[in-house]
Amino acid sequence: MQNEPTVRLTAVRRLYEVSARMGAGRSLAETLQAVVDGVVDGLGFGIAVLNLRYPDGKFEVIAVSGSPEAREALLGTVSAADIFDAEFEIADVWGGLRFVPHERLPEGEVVGWVPDVPISSDPDAWHPLDALFAPLHSSDGELVGMLSVDLPEDQRRPGPVHRELLEIFATQAGIAIDKARLTDQLLAEKARLEASETTFRLVFEGAGNGMATIAINGPDRGRVLRVNDAFCRITGYTPAQLVGSPLMDYLQDENAGQTDREVAELVSGAGPYRFERTFRRADGHDIWLGGTAAIVDEGNKEQQPRIVLIQIDDVTARKETERELQHHAAHDALTGLPNRRLLQHRFTTALQRSRQSGRRGVLLFCDLNHFKQVNDKYGHEAGDQALREIAGRLLSAVRHGDTVARLGGDEFAVLAEEIDGTDLTTLMRRIEDSINRPLTGIDVPVTASIGTAVVSPYTADLDELLRTADQAMYHAKRNYRAGLT
């Protein structure tokens, strides 16, 4: 069974893949289908249905994925504005999601399409009459649609991780639909009125997400030509500060030449370019902007610059959520130390450096003596606090750049690169001294047994190294016990 950090990491990867596919659609129809396909292909549900909300409040099923039967039965059906009200009155509120368990449905005829799947007696199993909805909102809070999902891949009611991913996805989907709807409006106006300046200005200024036009050639190359109110609100700058200034004054390249490569891809004619970049606000804080860039005016090459329209939203909260999920997947939940997954990554890097330099490192395997007595005498809560205290001591004992990881239970590992015999002896003594000190509020004499294994250019893998260090640790533990007799 996968542990929660592994599930979270897999979910984050799925979210990245699904978001990329969803943002690639150039029209509203393509975006809507990308949303439901993304749910089925990447978020672990067998069926996804999207109802688009019209200005009069009615809903129409525009996109279905995962079941040809569901698509035939539901696609194109139009429902009244209050179609979801009765179900939401009996629904469980899961953050931004609404879950309607089958047992709360009133007796009588079932409205809609129901999958023909076996019914489990397990109370936590997914029932074919269960319903899970994700309302989709634009960036300014307008309800733009309703996403419903069915048949989770594990055949169980979704847990916290999948609910969280679906909710994050729904937030992005709502903004993507709003953007696609706006893009359709812009393209329709451009085709009908040949990009009438008046019409463009009305759509541009009235947009709920930030918009700006940038010159990509001519004397104003790279400079901001126009911004709307939403762009100023998101970034904290006034139009006077932004217009005429180079956009690169505010963006930060994560790697050399990033902006030049993105501009080259945009002008190659591949279509709208989707980006996520850090942006320095007027107050000095960095935020994450996500959006699209597209050439909307080819211009007269002799008199006018080519113009790029960019649309942005502040996606800082989502990026922080993704970063938190990645942190949980690589760190021990109790102590905050790197877990075995992150230790493996750092070992691989250390091994590459060792093979390049010829310098050796050491892996130390630390096992706590008498720690079971702490749990037996004081309880597991005190034991957990003791492990956190020991983790902090280990971090203080090692050198800068060394990795301290928790392998599980009362076992820890220290990865020390480029260390010789004298420094290793000093490091081991510092570790032993830090652990051997009395623990706060605990009179059990907890000590450490340490085994070592050399990280050399000839080391095969981390598992082999851990086995060698583990055997050395048990030898040290036997010697420790013999010294007590």
Active site residues: 410
Task: Quote the CA–CA distance of 268 and 291 in Å, as a whole number.
Answer: 19
Neighbours of 189 (CB within 10 A): 17
Beta sheet of 361-369, edge-to-edge order: 403-408, 411-416, 361-369, 447-455
424-430 LR contacts (CB < 8 Å, sep 24+): 424/362, 424/452, 427/364, 427/397, 427/398, 427/399, 427/402, 428/364, 428/452, 430/397, 430/398
β-strand 251-252 against 92-94: which pairing, if any?
A: unpaired
Q: Look up tokens 């649609």; give the residue.
A: 145
Q: Residue type for 322, please?
A: E
Q: Return the sign of the alpha-carbon dihedral for residues 394, 399, 400, 401.
A: negative
- Take residue 140 and report the two structure tokens written for it: 């300014």
The CA-based diameter of the chain, rounded to the nearest angstrom, is 95
Which tokens is 226 given? 């126009």
| Secondary structure of residue 51 in the 3-state scheme | strand
The residue whose two tokens read 């970049």 is: 277
* Contact yes or no for 97/132 (Cβ under 8 A): yes
Output the six-digit token pair for 107: 């007796």
Dihedral sign of CA atoms 239, 240, 243, 245 in order: negative
Residue 110: Cβ-neighbour burial (10 angstroms; 0-12, 13-18, 19+): exposed
Q: Indicate if the alpha-carbon torsion angle 396, 398, 402, 408 is positive or negative.
A: negative
Burial of 411 (0-12, 13-18, 19+ CB in 10 A): middle
Q: How far apart are CA 195 and CA 189, in angstroms?
A: 6
3 closest CA partner among 330, 344, 385, 314: 330
